[in-house]
Copies of this chain bind each other. A is one copy, B any other.
Amino acid sequence: MKILHTVAELRAWREQQGHISFVPTMGNLHEGHLALVELAQQHAPVVIVSIFVNPLQFGAGEDYTRYPRTLADDVAKLSTLGVQAVFAPDVTELYPQPQRYHITPPDLANQLCGAYRPGHFVGVTTVVMKLFQLVQPHIAVFGQKDYQQLTLIRGMVADFAVPVKIIAGATIRAADGLALSSRNTFLSPDERQRAPLLYQQLSRIQQALQQGQRDYAQLENAATDTLQQHGWQVDYIRICDPQLNPADAQTQQWVALGAARLGATRLIDNLSI
């Protein structure tokens, strides 16, 4: 497995490849990431994974500096899976000067998580566009756990006609339902035990919708109340259509999304219905 740290190394490697698929990550790889890699392997003979904690997508006061960085462990896991290359650039390799040109996504970027993380999705779409230019993959795999991110990247790829096919990987969960996330490592043992409540509340909404309930506000408020009663600070619980428009009377398919903080740790999750 090739470990590429510079753009020049990446370009040289890319020139020798045919059909390739790409899994962009921020590292600290867990089973969720590895499932995305296995999905990528089903779609192309060559897989490259990027590991880059992207400062552009972190706001002031967010967890950029303490975000877990575990390159050696990550490389070992990817090597075991038979990944062909890892692109793990330094910040100065990817941003030799401060980024001056950005992607401006539509207003969806300011809603849901975007309302609580100003600039986050500008940083995400900008780095993903840049990584696509660098890696030039035919296929890229993103997790459904970051549903809003996935939606915005799909939109960007369509609007700019980026020649990359986007594949979504299902959310991988712990046995108790908690969606796997690098940020789970921030949870204390007590918080970890309480953490599945977010998933449980989204599951309740799922069941209610399946049973024909359509009072979205009531369902959202009930889930919010329950989380708050259990000590969570809720950013939002929202029932949307698959394109992340607010669900209305015509909606036939839904996504229930939530973001909430347990102590200092912000968790997100979603369920498609």
Count of chain copies:
2
* Chain A 179-212 near chain B by CB (<8 Å), digits 1 or 0: 0000000000000000000000000000000000
Contacts A129-B160, A133-B162, A133-B163 hold; do A103 and B100 have CB atoms under 8 A apart? no
Q: Which residue of B lies closest to A95 (CB)?
A: B159
* Chain A 147-175 near chain B by CB (<8 Å), digits 1 or 0: 00000000110011111000000000000
Determine the main DSSP class of A at the interface with B.
mixed
CB under 8 Å from chain B, chain A span 7-57 = 7, 11
Q: Does A2 contact B (CB under 8 A)?
A: no
Size range of the interface on A?
20 to 34
6 contacts between A and B (CB under 8 A): A101-B106, A101-B156, A103-B104, A130-B161, A134-B161, A134-B163
Q: Does A118 contact B (CB under 8 A)?
A: no
Q: Does A102 contact B (CB under 8 A)?
A: yes
How far is it, in angstroms, between the C-alpha of A130 and the C-alpha of B129 when the chains are bound? 11
Binding site for B on A (CB under 8 A): 7, 11, 99-106, 125-126, 129-130, 133-134, 136, 155-156, 159-163
The 8 closest A-B pairs by CB, nearest first: A100-B106, A101-B159, A104-B104, A102-B104, A133-B161, A101-B156, A133-B162, A134-B161
Find out whether the CB atom of B100 lies under 8 angstroms from the CB atom of A159: yes
Find out whether the CB atom of A101 lies under 8 angstroms from the CB atom of B130: no
How far is it, in angstroms, between the C-alpha of A125 and the C-alpha of B159 when the chains are bound? 13
Find out whether the CB atom of A104 lies under 8 angstroms from the CB atom of B106: no
Min distance, Cβ A21 to any Cβ of chain B, angstroms? 18
- Supplied contacts A11-B163, A102-B103, A129-B160, 10 more A-B pairs, CB within 8 Å: A99-B159, A100-B155, A100-B159, A101-B104, A101-B125, A101-B155, A101-B156, A130-B160, A133-B160, A134-B163
How far is it, in angstroms, between the C-alpha of A126 and the C-alpha of B126 when the chains are bound? 13
How far is it, in angstroms, between the C-alpha of A62 and the C-alpha of B160 when the chains are bound? 24
How far is it, in angstroms, between the C-alpha of A101 and the C-alpha of B106 when the chains are bound? 6
How far is it, in angstroms, between the C-alpha of A236 and the C-alpha of B209 when the chains are bound? 61
Min distance, Cβ A27 to any Cβ of chain B, angstroms? 20
**Which B residues are CB-close (under 8 A) to A160?**
101, 126, 129-130, 133
How far is it, in angstroms, between the C-alpha of A130 and the C-alpha of B162 when the chains are bound? 7
How far is it, in angstroms, between the C-alpha of A155 and the C-alpha of B98 when the chains are bound? 12
How far is it, in angstroms, between the C-alpha of A106 and the C-alpha of B126 when the chains are bound? 14
